[in-house]
Amino acid sequence: PKNNRHMRVGCDGGAYETYDRAENWAYMANLPLTQFYRVSVDNSIPFYFVYGGTQDNNSQGGPSRTRSRAGITNEDWFITVGGDGYETQVDPEDPNIVYSQWQYGGLVRHDRRSGETVDIKPREKPGEEPYRWNWDSPLLLSPHSAKRLYFAGNRLFRSDDGGNSWKAISGDLTRQLDRNALEVMGRIQNVDAVAKNDSTSIFGNCVALSESPLVEGLIYIGTDDGLVQVTENGGESWRKISVFPRVPDMTYVSFLTASGLDADTVYAAFDNHKNGDFAPYILRSSDRGETWEFVSGDLPERDVVYAIQEDHVDSNLLFAGTEFGAYYTQDGGEHWTKLGGVPTIAVRDVEIQRRENDVVLGTFGRGFYVLDDYTPLRAANQELLESDAAVFPVKDALLYIPTNRLGGSSGRGSQGASYYVAPNPPYGAVFTYYLKEKLTTRREKRKEAEKKAEKDGRSAAYPTIEELRAEDEEKDPSVVLIVRDASGDVVRRVSGSREKGVHRTSWNLRYPASTPTRLKPPADLPPWVEPPSGPLALPGKYTVSLANEIDGVTTSLTDPVEFNVVPLELATFAAKDREAVMAFRAKLARLQRAVRGALRAGGEIDDRLAHVRKAIVDTPDADEALITEADGLRGRLSGLQTRLRGDRTRSRRNEPTPPSINGRVQNVVSSQWNATSAPTKTEQDAYRHAGTEFAEALGELRALADDLEKLEAKLEAAGAPWTPGRIPQWEME
């Protein structure tokens, strides 16, 4: 109130702020608020694109995933046409050809290559009655021809040349009612009513459209005044359906989808919320609309259905978008389950990317959601759920090097929290598995038994000290997914959740890191440093199986499930002989393991020597010559560490420093672990130089360790206090 030049606004574009009374606005770019009416997908390779139409913020498209470590950013998205956006269709053979629209039937052909946009909306001929277009007009690319478009107002239009020309293949498909004669809020409103007919569709037009993928010319049309029209001959004749079981008369037909598995089956969803009726209406016809059955099952009674899709493999697996979320059914519509991970939000459209088996949701207020690889829903039958454990089929894992376009190990670089990124799907092979029961610890079992006893009104048995000790000393049971190559050799062990139910985890297509073992992952790494990892595995066939470890015993729970690692082949200088490159990386990893281990061992010797020297000073009977011996060992260690890790005296003073053994190795590792190309001559030389130097240094380190043990034995004989690495000697007197 004290500064009227500072304002904030929230609108259907998001949140904005101005400090100069609206001359300039700052946009809050990190809020996922987009309102999508429709969603569609293309067949782009290697990653498909998602398209949708927004409220007042254009029709847009963007990738379902990127190669960037950051994820999917705002700049990955592009506008195909302005206005309020609606249905988009993409040429299945050339994903650069995008058909987009805005309200009232505005239709364009967008060229992603050039960015050009051409108007292709069907236009009236002289003397024709004006066409009536919905705010959200149905648009369809025929599954039988990549250049055949269907577009519907109050009539259905067809183009066989990508929208260059159109032909009407129907008459008026609506009830042809006079909207001004219909009651609104209980009475017919007069012509001067506030905002009468503003910002709304002209009543009496088509709003749903589907063509059978199995029968060319079998087309279903739904209207806003409650009709389903069917043609079985490409529009030569039409059959009108106006009555549906349990659906009120004139209910808006929100969605139609013809089955891709049965030529005679079609699904319909109806939306009657404008009449105060929020019931979910999903119907299925098995005879091309002649008769219908109700398949809303146990959906919540006040959850309007906007969209319905059938799985392209299992006709009993359906997905529905509703006012309050998304649901799926595995029994054809009798029982429905809400999809988790989606907020309580209107899901206005549902699409299936068939190549990837992904479900994509268009929400009105939180953008798009993608359920990656829903194939486990096909396999999750009663028989599987009664088994103790199962690994679901694994889709092909794409092998490539994620990019750091913005820098930093996370890929986000220095952009800060206001830079919006949507997460990519997990990189590598994604494993979905099932556990019938949780793997419980002894303590968890005891606590559960105590709860049951309390519930039954009895006292639980008090545990013995031996039982409590077993609890204290127990290592928690664990679940591990074991990855093997085509030869059956173990490549990686991936940890998983031990909770009951369905879980997902992923393998990053790499061998384990050769760096020293840590009980906890490194914390607080600088943003430019990546966590330790091993080299990439080779393309080819792999298997994964599920096992558990209980009390140190590993037990296999499932048979191996086969999957493929498939390279994207993006590199200009990709290695021609992958096996030879893998052999080089394997020996490089072995050298790295030894060098990094020697560095840690040197650090431990350094610590032991510091304790030894202090213990000599603290031991009255110790020979003072032991201090000279300890300092001599310290001097030998310092020279070794300089060769292993570099000359810190020179580097602290910014003087030119010769490459260390570890520096040579790490330079090659950081390059080879993040490339698909063969090692350069320089890298091969670096390996050879480092290996030759390290062989000598390792011998000296072992000799030093032996001499240290001899010194520690002298300390023990002198009765020195304990020091690290030494077990005290003692006998009863």
| pLDDT of residue 498 exceeding 80 | yes
Distance of CA 611 to the CA centre of its chain: 51
* Residues 265-290 pLDDT 10s: 999 999 999 999 999 999 999 999 99
Region 321-337: mean pLDDT is 97
* Residues 118-175 pLDDT 10s: 999 999 999 999 999 999 999 999 999 999 999 999 999 999 999 999 999 999 999 9
The Cα–Cα gap between 665 and 615 comes to: 37
What is the number of other CB atoms lying within 10 angstroms of the CB of residue 629? 18
Q: What is the pLDDT of residue 198?
A: 86
| pLDDT of residue 409 exceeding 80 | no
The Cα–Cα gap between 658 and 512 comes to: 30
Region 543-565: mean pLDDT is 97
* Residues 251-266 pLDDT 10s: 999 999 999 999 999 9
Residue 712 near residue 725, CB atoms below 8 Å:
yes
Cross-sheet strand order for the sheet of 501-507: 389-391, 429-435, 501-507
Q: DSSP letters along 597-608, please?
A: HHHHHHHHHHHH
* Residues 623-670 pLDDT 10s: 989 999 999 999 999 999 999 999 999 999 999 999 999 999 999 999
Residue by residue, what is the 3-state secondary structure of 339-400? CCCCCCCCEEEEEEECCCCEEEEEEECCCEEEECCCCHHHHCCHHHHHCCEEECCCCCEEEC
**Which run of H or of E encompasses 430?**
strand 429-435
Instruction: Give the CA distances from residue 484 to residues 167, 542, 597, in Å, rounded to whole numbers and listed in that order.
Output: 58, 6, 26
Provide the H-helix boundaries in 119-194: none
Query: 412: closest CA among 71, 726, 652, 702?
Result: 71
Residue spans of beta strands (DSSP E) within 194-259:
206-211, 219-223, 228-231, 239-241, 252-258
Instruction: Give the CA distances from residue 607 to residues 542, 705, 729, in Å, rounded to whole numbers and listed in that order.
Output: 44, 12, 21
Residue 101 near residue 110, CB atoms below 8 Å:
no
* Residues 102-120 pLDDT 10s: 999 999 999 999 999 999 9
Cross-sheet strand order for the sheet of 347-353: 347-353, 358-363, 368-371
Residue 365 near residue 57, CB atoms below 8 Å:
no
Q: How far apart are the first and last CA of the chain?
A: 88
Q: Say if strands 318-322 and 305-310 run parallel, antiparallel, or are unpaired.
A: antiparallel
| pLDDT of residue 194 exceeding 80 | yes
Largest interatomic CA distance in the chain: 121
* Residues 34-88 pLDDT 10s: 999 999 999 999 999 999 999 999 999 999 999 999 999 999 999 999 999 899 9
Residue 561: helix, strand or coil by DSSP? strand
Q: What is the pLDDT of residue 13?
A: 86
Region 690-698: mean pLDDT is 98
The Cα–Cα gap between 40 and 351 comes to: 6
The Cα–Cα gap between 357 and 371 comes to: 9
Distance of CA 281 to the CA centre of its chain: 31
Query: 324: closest CA among 346, 350, 300?
Result: 346
Percentage of the chain modeled with pLDDT above 70 = 100
- The DSSP code for 313 is S
**Cα torsion through 631, 634, 635, 636, rounded to 10:** 130
Residue spans of beta strands (DSSP E) within 551-594:
553-556, 561-567
The answer to pTM > 0.75 is yes
Region 216-233: mean pLDDT is 98
The Cα–Cα gap between 607 and 603 comes to: 6
Instruction: Give the CA distances from residue 391 to residues 27, 433, 547, in Å, rounded to whole numbers and listed in that order.
Output: 45, 4, 10
Query: 509: closest CA among 410, 402, 666?
Result: 402
